Amino acid sequence: MQTSHSAGIDGTLTSRYECKYFVSEERARRIREEIRPFLSLDPFSAKQEEHRYRVYSLYFDSPGFRLFQDTVEGARNRFKLRLRYYDAEGQGPIFAEVKKRNDQIVRKARDPLSDDQRAKLLDAGQDLARTEFHQQLRRLGARPSMQIRYYREAWECRGHTPVRVTFDTDLQHALPVAGEAISPRTDWERTPLDGVILELKFTERRPPWLAALVQRFELDKQSIPKYVMSVNAAQASGNLRHHFARTAVCPSWRHVSSL
């Protein structure tokens, strides 16, 4: 995926309402047919043979997993810190993101990392506090906590009432490896899902056709945090405990210098 294209992914809805639902594969197929008159595949899904592309995220959290706990407890004002990228090697664009939820509104601050920032991001001695991401990283003493990846099929309308609808499948997770913050992995574990994750994203007001869609398919809005689900899966398998045991002898993740 080229830099010029990747930089625009999901760029129109940085402040939005975001509703998530679990749906079956069959219901996802029917919903896809329903939205065709209103939306079209985004340029990245349109280029793929199966109309879906990989999304990778490296999440950061405090040593006590404060951001994880805030989400679990449903704090009205909470945020996540992550690096978002779209190829396994991390050779394409990498974005530093702060995704904040204020009650029902989601706001996302997104900054592309320069080559210099890629090399220095995890160096505690560098003054990179120019963005909210870096400020929060330093304030929390946050460190890499979980890597996830999944397939995304995205539909959008960029008219007067922007709408974005995504179908996410095949969620997987892997625990960060010291010295290899972003690198090809062969140890991905499946994060259990109760179906396809359907996300409806819109600004200001929900268009009538979208409201009718929710009613017609009796969609039940849920909290579906991929980060929390992945941490829980790693904990249930015992991998999280083993990870902490391994990293306890070398906790200085900030020495990682190759993003």
**What pLDDT digit, counting tens, does each position of 228-256 carry?**
999 999 999 887 776 665 554 334 333 33
Alpha carbons 73 and 217: distance in angstroms, whole number: 29
Domains of the chain: 3-250 (3.20.100.30)
Parallel, antiparallel or unpaired: strands 94-102 and 53-61: unpaired
Instruction: Give per-residue pLDDT as tens, 89-130.
Output: 888 899 999 999 987 789 988 988 887 777 665 554 444 556
pLDDT (0 to 100) of residue 195:
95
Please give the share of the chain, as a percent, with pLDDT higher than 70.
80
Helices (H) and strands (E) in the chain, counts: 9, 10
Strand partners, 147: 58, 174
Q: How does 173-184 read in b/e, with b if 16+ C-beta sit within 10 Å?
A: bbbbbeeebbee
Lowest mean pLDDT among 17-31, 103-117, 184-198: 103-117
Which residue, 87, 146, 90, is CA-closest to 119? 90
User: What is the rounded average pLDDT for all residues in the chain?
Assistant: 83
